[in-house]
Chain A
């Protein structure tokens, strides 16, 4: 069974840092691009960042570029999101999501629709 399990969410003060992790199982992790998507309470999903199979292609949403860094460790079947200079508007449930297809594994080649998603880890930024 394909499974994605996020961890690392917490309550943090503005300006602080946090690192999220996503443990993947049930599929060949190194074949697939991976993504982080967040959802603020009562809002729709917002794509945050994506990373290709070998970290050769990486993209960020404008709202997080320069503050967040996505990375992966294929040996550990894990995806990470380092979040620095956190703001109150970063408060959301953060989902790890797999690109639905792993034929190419590179971003923006038609594979970046998401299936499956993890259950999410909550991040609250507040003083």
Chain B
């Protein structure tokens, strides 16, 4: 099983600041099979990024993804109030499909 470890657990930032979230895989993952999701309280996760760097439909360009192999990054260039949420990474190349434990982006 591919274990995804996200860091930090919580990121405390102010609106307008840049957020950098990390996801490390226990073994190499093809970037084709890597995604990021955003989850707000009481809601289902929402797809943000697929293929490591492709924004899903309707996702603003302040969200960007990068990485390959075992290290992937989600960057939010300038935090908007609606971006404070929990973010999860996912690999879907190998069964079982796995998610990271999440990074909470909190208002400082």
A positions within 8 Å CB-CB of B: 35, 44-47, 50, 59-62, 95, 100, 107-108, 110, 112-120
The number of inter-chain residue pairs (CB within 8 angstroms) is 60
Q: What are the 8 tightest A-B residue pairs by CB atom distance, in nearest-first order? A: A117-B44, A112-B92, A113-B35, A115-B47, A47-B97, A59-B95, A44-B102, A61-B96
Report chain A residues within 8 Å CB of B98: 47
| Complex: chain A residue closest to B96, CB-CB | A61
Q: Which of B70-105 contact A (CB under 8 A)?
A: 88, 90, 92-102
- Contact between A120 and B44 (Cβ–Cβ < 8 Å)? yes
- Contact between B88 and A110 (Cβ–Cβ < 8 Å)? no
Question: In the bound complex, what is the Cα–Cα distance between A114 and B102 (angstroms)?
Answer: 16
Question: In the bound complex, what is the Cα–Cα distance between A114 and B92 (angstroms)?
Answer: 10
A44-B88, A45-B45, A110-B33 in contact; A62/B99 too (CB < 8 A)?
no
Quick one: which of B37, B44, B56, B100 contacts A119, CB cutoff 8 A?
B44
B positions within 8 Å CB-CB of A: 1, 32-33, 35, 37, 44-47, 50, 56, 88, 90, 92-102
A44-B88, A100-B47 in contact; A112/B97 too (CB < 8 A)?
yes
| Complex: chain B residue closest to A115, CB-CB | B47
| Complex: chain A residue closest to B57, CB-CB | A115
- Contact between B90 and A117 (Cβ–Cβ < 8 Å)? no
The contact sample of 7 A-B pairs, CB cut-off 8 A, is A45-B37, A45-B45, A62-B96, A108-B93, A110-B93, A114-B47, A114-B90
| Complex: chain A residue closest to B98, CB-CB | A47
Question: In the bound complex, what is the Cα–Cα distance between A53 and B44 (angstroms)?
Answer: 23
- Contact between B102 and A118 (Cβ–Cβ < 8 Å)? no
Question: In the bound complex, what is the Cα–Cα distance between A100 and B45 (angstroms)?
Answer: 13
Give B31 Cβ to nearest chain A Cβ, in Å: 11
- Contact between A47 and B45 (Cβ–Cβ < 8 Å)? no
Give A44 Cβ to nearest chain B Cβ, in Å: 5
Report chain A residues within 8 Å CB of B88: 44-45
| Complex: chain A residue closest to B100, CB-CB | A44
Give A115 Cβ to nearest chain B Cβ, in Å: 4
